[in-house]
Structure 1
Amino acid sequence: MRLVLAVPGDLAAPTGGYAYARQLLAHLPAQGVAVTHLPLPGGFPDPSADDLARTAALLAAVPAETRLLVDGLAYGALPPEVIRAAGRPVAALVHHPLGYETGLAPGRAASLIASERAALAQASRVVATSRFTARMLADAFGVPPGRLTVAEPGTAPAARVRPRPGPSLRLLSVGTVTPRKGYDVLVQALASLADLDWSLTIAGSLDRAPDCAASLRGRIAALGLRDRITLAGAVTPEALDRLYAEADLAVSASVFEGYGMALTEALARGLPLVATTGGAAAETVPAGAGIAVPPGDAPALAAALRGLIADADLRAEAAAASWEAGRRLPDWPATAAAVAAALRNP
């Protein structure tokens, strides 16, 4: 089977969605799929008229016998006529609906939801990256369940991080600094834990939402936490591995996750977790591997962090459960196999 994977923007960008695309490109050939990356304009999900015209031309130029899979960052913003103009069945890869991004004006969110609903009605097959997202697409976007396939992100095996007793605890939060990641809530929660011995590293791009990053820096300074919180920015895979290896506790304050790849990377290393229940994160983090709290609730997040930071035995119990859960996670070949099977049955 020949396949073109169409992805907007910079394929090397350090986000979960782009990492998923890179892994598909690496692992689909072993599933008998000759896959090629088709770069789309970087303006999505807010494409200009020129972006849409270029995208229509790029999709239409794909050889007729080649299947098309379009990443959801672009697919949900494509007008139906652009999808139909491709002249063949087009499949969509959806990480989470575009209109559910935190911080959107209500009108913009509604417009994106309507656009994605219309686009998904044209999809020959929809690959969702979590069971949660698949249910949402069926219930809120009208995608027939028979047209949906779940292909959860793979997680590479990693060395176990053994629990350390402290006293100094190193916290790690991984993800691009955007409003959806809830870093403002995390900083607020940590401000009430000044009596405990902790430090936090936030590893994630500071360029995607510059205003959000600037506001976060200001909030950290205003709360007197500059000596305890490090904004590392985007880091290399090797640097991220080191950060995980040095961490004692992984934390996510995300408002909404389509899956939560940073959470499974923590599980793969046996790190205890404090995470919100926003979106698919409630299902990604198993019971016992840490403490789950509602998104946006700084006092609940602070209480959960205090419990694990202050109690070495509780951390050790959560770490053991995290390690066991991590050993059951799917790998990337399994993800690629699920995507290949879906595309062979459009």
Structure 2
Amino acid sequence: MAQHAFIVPADLPGPSGGLTYNQRVLAQWRASGLDVEEVAVPGGWPNPSPADRQALAQRLPQHGTVLIDGIIGSAAPEELARAAAAGTEIALLIHLPLPAESGLSPEERQRLAGSERAAVHAAHTIVCTSSWARDDLQARYGLDAVAVAEPGVDAAALAAGSAAPRLLFLGAVTPRKNPLGLLQALGGLTELPWTGVIAGPEGQDPGYAAQVRAAAEALPEGRATVVGAVGGEQLETLWSETDLLVLPSLAETYGMVVTEALARGIPALVGAGTGAQDALCGDAEGSRAGLPTPGDALDPHDPRAWSARLQEFLSNASMRQQWRGAAQAHRARLRTWSHAAQDLRTAIEW
């Protein structure tokens, strides 16, 4: 049995940034020789059944040191507490604080917050993937020590873009990611040349996804296309044709798609006050400090502000070139997955 275990969800619909993060750090650790077992636990996390929780309870004590994805661990505080009392060293990796998800009723938000509060106090170490998440967790639960291990990104070829500027939304089609707000902002800009693509899994909230498809179809034909989840060559083709990433999330821990865009020299327009703004600008004291902002961050609740900024981008070739140049400057200084894996390993003392 491996010295360490990384407990991850087996049934979470994807693709998602959290799943990608887990897989990439695992790959880096194994390449470096770290003895770690991936333990994929089934269940409807973060809303597990009693059987889901029992299965987790049986796995936790089998390892001396455990890193557990927050979508599981934050929903199973009693299981964490029992395993910790029995001698298992537990680190909790939180990609997104559970109550920060959108579309929750007040009762659901309160229940998830209570569960996560108990979980973070049961674990020995808390790690999250952005400064935004750290600040949220500290304020929400009164925590003192929360480590940060930001994601990395792979090197990629520069995007060529398109003749008419191509706007890309890439992420789960959910209220939190807010593609409906984006389409609302674009509705008054049909006299300008542009095309838009909404790409990402639609299974998390089918009702909302249907509203997004209807809003895209209400625009003039060919302006906005909803393509569902993408990967492989289809995703690379989308990236190569993109001129601006648009991510109007209401809440975002980090927004790995932002650095993936920058790796291709693509600027981004993101939600202000979210972790995506950190991904866009970089740490104030990090390798990207002092570089011009490769895009902008706007209030995701204000579609008029988004419409005005998009109108400026679409009608101003000089601005588009300036943002692209800034994105290319950031491209040369982005973190790699080896940096992310080492930061996480340091935080959990593996």
TM-score range, shorter chain: over 0.9
The offset of 1:76, in angstroms, is 1.0
Q: Name 1:158's counterpart in structure 2.
A: 156
Q: Distance in 2 between matches of 1:289 and 1:344?
A: 35
User: How do residues 1-346 of structure 1 correspond to structure 2 at under 5 angstroms?
Assistant: 2-10=3-11, 13-60=14-61, 62-64=62-64, 67-85=65-83, 87=86, 88-145=88-145, 148-162=146-160, 166=163, 168-221=164-217, 223-286=218-281, 288-344=293-349
Q: After superposition, give the CA deviation of every residue in 1:259-295 in whole Å (9 maximum; x if it has no partner).
A: 0101111111111222111421222212521122101
Q: After superposition, give the CA deviation of every residue in 1:127-182 in whole Å (9 maximum; x if it has no partner).
A: 1101111122222222222xx22110001111122566x4x111111101111110
Unaligned runs of 5+ in 1: none
Q: Distance in 2 between matches of 1:4 and 1:131?
A: 25
Residue 52 and residue 6 in structure 1: after superposition, are their counterparts in 2 closer, same or farther (change >3 A)?
A: same
Matched to 1:68, the amino acid is: V
Q: Distance in 2 between matches of 1:83 and 1:7?
A: 18
Residue 175 and residue 187 in structure 1: after superposition, are their counterparts in 2 closer, same or farther (change >3 A)?
A: same
Q: State the TM-score, normalizing by the size of structure 1.
A: 0.92
Residue 97 and residue 12 in structure 1: after superposition, are their counterparts in 2 closer, same or farther (change >3 A)?
A: closer
Residue 152 and residue 240 in structure 1: after superposition, are their counterparts in 2 closer, same or farther (change >3 A)?
A: same
Matched to 2:66, the amino acid is: L
Matched to 1:215, the amino acid is: Q
Residue 327 and residue 12 in structure 1: after superposition, are their counterparts in 2 closer, same or farther (change >3 A)?
A: farther
Matched to 1:53, the amino acid is: Q
Q: Distance in 1 between matches of 2:44 and 2:220?
A: 36
Matched to 2:78, the amino acid is: P
Q: After superposition, give the CA deviation of every residue in 1:79-134 in whole Å (9 maximum; x if it has no partner).
A: 33444236312111111101110111111111111111110001111111011111
* SS class of match (2:334): coil
Q: State the TM-score, normalizing by the size of structure 2.
A: 0.91
* SS class of match (2:269): strand
Q: After superposition, give the CA deviation of every residue in 1:206-225 in whole Å (9 maximum; x if it has no partner).
A: 1122111112112223x334
Matched to 1:284, the amino acid is: A
8 Å contact kept, 2:80–2:90: no
Identity %: 37
The offset of 1:31, in angstroms, is 4.0
8 Å contact kept, 1:162–1:270: no
The offset of 1:68, in angstroms, is 0.3
The offset of 1:30, in angstroms, is 3.7
Residue 201 and residue 215 in structure 1: after superposition, are their counterparts in 2 closer, same or farther (change >3 A)?
A: same
Q: Name 2:289's counterpart in structure 1.
A: none
Q: Distance in 2 between matches of 1:46 and 1:13?
A: 17
Q: Distance in 2 between matches of 1:326 and 1:137?
A: 30
8 Å contact kept, 1:117–1:142: no
The offset of 1:246, in angstroms, is 0.9
Unaligned runs of 5+ in 2: 282-291
Q: Distance in 2 between matches of 1:218 and 1:161?
A: 29
8 Å contact kept, 1:9–1:43: no
The offset of 1:13, in angstroms, is 2.7
Number of positions where the alignment pairs a residue of Structure 1 with one of Structure 2: 337
Q: Distance in 1 between matches of 2:335 and 2:272?
A: 21
Q: Distance in 2 between matches of 1:118 and 1:226?
A: 51
8 Å contact kept, 2:70–2:94: yes
Q: Which moved more, 1:25-34 or 1:47-56?
A: 25-34
